[in-house]
Amino acid sequence: LTKKRKQLSDEEARERVAEKRELAAQRTRYEQMMQEIRSDMASKQVITTPALVADPSIPKLSKIEFDVFISHASEDKEEFVEPLYQALKAIGITSFYDKESIPWGGSIREKVDSGLSHSKMGIVVISKFFCAKKWTSDELNALFALETKESKIILPIWHDITKQEVIDYSPSLADKLARNTAINTIEEIAEEINGVK
């Protein structure tokens, strides 16, 4: 029995080491991919405002610096994102929030690009819905590309999702200190954002 227990313990230890190595390898691959995206975006100037001047509503937007850009899946809007937006608005935090910032008939891509490039920080509401969409992935890639060592602009909020699910989606994102709606109230999150804006 002792021998069997030792064998089991050794096997579990080997599995833990293998898992750590795989996670480290995933992080390395992800960082390499993000570096390539940053370089590509820098060379192509994906996020830029001069090209948007043709839209008469863009000059006004280009002069505004939002405190936060709220990246989220539409399925989370009613339960969490809308109340968060209202809580931020109530304490004077300006937000690029698609429902309020993109007018009827406006170009979603152009408005989002401009909103991203003119926001100090990006709130990323990570949920199962967020992880399943390409659009939210594009927004997250843009936020990573804009993030520098001097300016840590990504503020993750985990919403109805486990740590393992976040790791499976993005090891680099899982490595960032996050707030969790299972633990933190909307008011607490809004006040913390107000403290770092």
Helix axes 134-146, 2-44, angle to 10 degrees: 80
What residues act catalytically? 139
From 9, 123, 4, 5, select the one nearest 72 (Cα to Cα). Answer: 123
Cα separation, 94 vs 90, in Å, equals 10
Q: Which pLDDT score, from 0 to 100, does residue 117 have?
A: 80
From 50, 51, 55, 49, select the one nearest 118 (Cα to Cα). Answer: 49
Taking only the tens of pLDDT, the chain with its 197 residues reads: 787 777 878 888 788 777 777 767 766 766 666 666 666 655 544 443 333 334 444 444 445 578 999 999 999 999 999 999 999 999 999 998 888 777 676 666 777 777 788 888 899 999 999 999 998 888 888 888 887 655 658 899 999 999 999 999 999 889 998 999 999 999 999 999 988 76
Query: What is 156-197 written as a DSSP string?
Result: EEE-S--HHHHHHH-HHHHTS--EETTTS-HHHHHHHHHHH-
The total number of residues shown for the chain amounts to 197
Q: Which pLDDT score, from 0 to 100, does residue 54 have?
A: 40
Cα separation, 39 vs 36, in Å, equals 5
Instruction: Specify burial of residue 84 (Cβ count, 10 A radius: 0-12, 13-18, 19+).
Output: buried
Q: Which pLDDT score, from 0 to 100, does residue 30 have?
A: 62
